[in-house]
Amino acid sequence: MAARRNASLLLAICVEAMGYGAVFGLLADLQDKYRFPPIFGFNEAGLGLIAASAFPAALVGQLGLARFADRGHTRRLLWFGLATAAAGMIWFWLGSTLWEFAVARMLVGLGSGTFIPSARRAILAQDPHNPGKAISMAGAADIGGFLLGLPIAKQLEQAFDSPNTPFLVLAILLAAVGPIATLVPEPDICEHHASGAEMRRVFRLPLARAGIVIGLGFAAMIGTFDAVASRFLKDLGGTDNELTLVMIALFVPLVIAMPFAGRLVDHVGPVRAGAVALVAASPFIAGFGLTRHLGWVAALGAAVALLFSVVYTAGQSAVAGGTVPVGLTGAGQGAYEATYAVGSMVCALVSPILYRRDSAMVMWLWVAVMGFAAALAAWSFAGDERRAEVHLGQLEDPSEPSDPPRPSDPPGCSNAA
């Protein structure tokens, strides 16, 4: 029964993520089409503005709205997130100016930042005794949808001879699957919520602070990719199908390597693993600026993706290792997401300013330096805990009861209406 109920939510997560993938893949084509309209045309700096607008909006959803899913409003938030994301896609379809695309991207970011955490909450509520399975299914749907969105958007662009029209098709698809997804039962109301004071305590924990900084190294790469990757790859030449294959090659290794990265992080410790991976990735990132060949970009990207699977896992593991034993799990995740969003936004704004069509070396060198600096800072902030090993399955949150919870009475929650 839980699997059938979750199927509609997983499908909606996938379709919503396809919209994000479409933005990633079509942003350069939208720029080419509307570069020189009478007013509000946009250049490379405009790409950064459009990409960056998503991050503060997503943060509003993640930290400002999604927490109300614990208070009996999960289904309302699912409706709001899906409707807002669909509205952003429709605006991408209708838009033609810089400010319209920035607002559209903001709506997509707000919708995603509200819908995804609420959907995960609903999925976990359906199968509370298998949280790892539930989260992995939601993550697979999210990443899988993003990867599907790239080629589907490109094919729709070719079919309709317009970079705008794919967003209308995705909005219609989301409108078809969204209402079914919101029919899930309302999860139980939870009593414990992270406060601002708790989030500030997280930054005083050496291991958690190091994990957050490792996450900033990951954010530097993702913020830059979100804003510039489509433009960068298109400027290297090649057909739409070749560009799609290169983009997929940059992300698929990240997903495939996650289980192996988790075992490595468990074995050597998150700070050591994350810092070393960031340092090792820096020359490959700088290498993006040394080549104009798509094949080499794909090869370098695959190497970076493998190393960044370790970076991503290490950051999350370090935050969990520092916060779960002291009962700050939710606050730790909130602090990580907030810092990550700010870092991604800054890099999405700065990277396009440094980008030049004839030479991207300065931009990629800057990203490599940011990753290297994050590694040094994380190593320094961790102090005596830099060699600590973290095994997530053995962590225990003191705020949770020691006895296994009953299905009708999950920890910290009640069935109050």
Tokens standing for 157? 């662009």
Residue type for 175, please?
A
| CB-based contact 210:336 (threshold 8 Å) | no
Q: What is the pLDDT of residue 398?
A: 61
Q: CA–CA separation, 60 vs 224, rounded Å?
A: 21
Q: What is the pLDDT of residue 411?
A: 43
| Closest among 30, 51, 359, 417 to 222, alpha carbons compared | 51
What is the full DSSP assignment across 309-373? HHHHHHHHHHHHHHHGGGT-HHHHHHHHHHHHHHHHHHHHHHHHHH-BTTB-HHHHHHHHHHHHH
196-393 fold: Growth Hormone; Chain: A; (1.20.1250)
Q: Where are the domains of the chain?
A: 1-189, 196-393
Q: Which segments in the chain show pLDDT lower than 50? A: 38-39, 401-412, 414-417
| CB-based contact 171:152 (threshold 8 Å) | no
Q: What is the pLDDT of residue 248?
A: 78
1-189 against 196-393: fold identical: yes
Phi, psi of 356 (to 5 degrees): -130, 140
Tell me: domain 1-189, CATH 1.10.10.10, correct? no
Q: CA–CA separation, 139 vs 116, rounded Å?
A: 10
For residue 189, what are the β-bridge partners? 414
Residue type for 261, please?
A
